[in-house]
């Protein structure tokens, strides 16, 4: 799988762009706020159906314009596919926008787009993955699993809708607008969906664990042992079957019912899970140095890249947004080793001096300036 071309229309600071890409590495360099990250964001939006930078789709449309379009041509063993995302700003509420997806000209739901273009993102913010809040680690795992299995993406969407409905009912019960009797239906539905997500997360994390551990042994010269531990909220999974996990979730919600009504929020379930990263029996978030945490993050990203290729049989596209300047020479070299021969990579940098000659010698290089790309 590789990205053959990208077309943008009124996306962020791009009025119009037609870009053909090579299978290997492509470097985009230029000053801040010129459009380098915006280009990678557009590719990520096509792959993941959501921006990794904002939840407000209206922010993706060029200022003063009514709509934006992102089109990506993806070459795979099955042939050439055209992925398109259209974003339309609401005339009545300019801060709101709708998204519409097509695959080869046929309208699709967002979850049906998953897997058409697989990417691994590596942004400077990802260096906070280990020591930051659990939301980032959940997003990391959700992104990986959704690209491997579109059914998981659909289950996440279903769970989100059920959670929204149950939370609304909890608030209505708290305010005396609804009876408590209706809560059982939503508790059962949410527990069944949540259990499916949790069991799949546990299974996939067990498969990812040895890959990440192997990369970390290399990065630490075999001095540290990395372990990933899944911490589900409210239940103990282990090797429990799906039905038992669902029952555990239902019981946990019922036990927390008074608390949940008081807060107007569901207190247990996959929306509160965490993925802990441990180094030599110490949780890295609490005890690891900054260097150790960065090595752990790099191990996770390399494992994600390897796992996607191994499970799907196709290399994902690697998106590196100004990460090289944030890594020391040793970690930079380890990341470079993954690119040889490796996946197609789109790399941004403020200065070409931030990139090793080994990349520049074989990469196509473009300069980005004010929403335009120059060879």
* Residue 70's CATH number: 3.40.50.300
Q: Could you list the residue range(s) of the whole structural domain that residue 36 is in? A: 1-118+322-375
Confidence of residue 164 (pLDDT cuts 50, 70, 90): very high
136 & 256 share domain: yes
pLDDT in tens, 291-317: 999 999 999 999 999 999 999 999 999
pLDDT in tens, 229-271: 999 988 888 778 899 999 999 999 999 999 999 999 999 999 9
Residue 166 has pLDDT above 90, yes or no: yes
Count of structural domains, the chain: 2
Residue 350 has what pLDDT? 93
**Two tokens, residue 175:** 């305010």
Residue 341 has pLDDT above 80, yes or no: no
Residue 61 has pLDDT above 90, yes or no: yes
145 & 201 share domain: yes
* Residue 212's CATH number: 1.20.1050.90
251 & 361 share domain: no
102 & 234 share domain: no
140 & 5 share domain: no
69 & 140 share domain: no
Residue 119 has what pLDDT? 97
125 & 235 share domain: yes
302 & 329 share domain: no
Residue 236 has what pLDDT? 82
149 & 198 share domain: yes
Please tell me the distance from the alpha carbon of residue 249 to that of residue 260, in angstroms, as a whole number.
14
**Two tokens, residue 259:** 């608390």
The domain boundary, picked from 313, 335, 363, lies at 313
Beta-strand relationship, 106-108 and 67-76: unpaired
pLDDT in tens, 76-89: 888 899 999 999 99
The domain boundary, picked from 268, 294, 313, lies at 313
The domain boundary, picked from 288, 313, 338, lies at 313
268 & 258 share domain: yes
83 & 170 share domain: no
pTM: 0.92
């Amino acid at each position: 799988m590789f990205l053959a071309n990208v077309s943008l229309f009124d996306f962020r600071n791009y009025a119009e762009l037609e870009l053909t890409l090579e299978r290997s590495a492509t470097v985009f360099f230029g000053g801040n706020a010129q459009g380098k990250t915006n280009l990678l964001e557009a590719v990520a939006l096509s792959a993941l159906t959501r921006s990794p930078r904002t939840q407000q789709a209206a922010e993706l449309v060029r200022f003063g314009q009514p709509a934006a379009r992102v089109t990506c041509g993806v070459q795979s063993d099955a042939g050439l596919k055209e992925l398109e995302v259209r974003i339309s700003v609401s005339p009545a509420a300019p801060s709101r926008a709708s998204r519409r997806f097509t695959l080869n000209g046929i309208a699709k739901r967002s979850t049906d787009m998953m897997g058409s273009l697989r990417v691994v993102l590596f942004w400077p913010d990802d260096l906070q993955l280990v020591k930051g809040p659990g939301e980032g680690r959940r997003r990391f795992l959700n992104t990986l699993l959704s690209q491997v299995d579109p059914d998981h993406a659909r289950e996440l969407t279903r769970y989100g809708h059920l959670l929204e409905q149950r939370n609304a009912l909890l608030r209505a019960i708290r305010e005396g607008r609804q009876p408590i009797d209706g809560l059982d239906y939503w508790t059962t539905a949410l527990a069944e969906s949540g259990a499916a997500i949790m069991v799949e997360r546990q299974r996939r994390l067990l498969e990812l664990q040895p890959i990440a551990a192997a990369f970390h042994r290399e990065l630490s010269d075999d001095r540290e042992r990395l372990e990933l531990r899944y911490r589900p909220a409210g239940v103990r999974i282990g090797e429990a079957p799906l039905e038992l996990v669902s029952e555990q979730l239902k019981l946990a919600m019922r036990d927390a019912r008074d608390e949940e009504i008081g807060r107007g929020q569901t207190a247990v379930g996959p929306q509160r899970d965490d993925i802990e990263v441990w180094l030599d029996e110490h949780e890295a978030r609490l005890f690891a140095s900054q260097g150790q945490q960065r090595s752990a993050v790099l191990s996770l990203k390399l494992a994600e890249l390897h796992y996607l290729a191994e499970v799907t049989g196709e290399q994902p596209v690697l998106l590196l947004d100004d990460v090289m300047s944030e890594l020391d020479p040793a970690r930079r070299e380890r990341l470079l080793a993954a690119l040889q021969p490796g996946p197609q990579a789109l790399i941004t940098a403020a200065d070409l001096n931030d990139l090793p000659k080994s990349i520049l010698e074989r990469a196509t290089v473009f300069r980005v300036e004010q929403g335009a790309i120059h060879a």
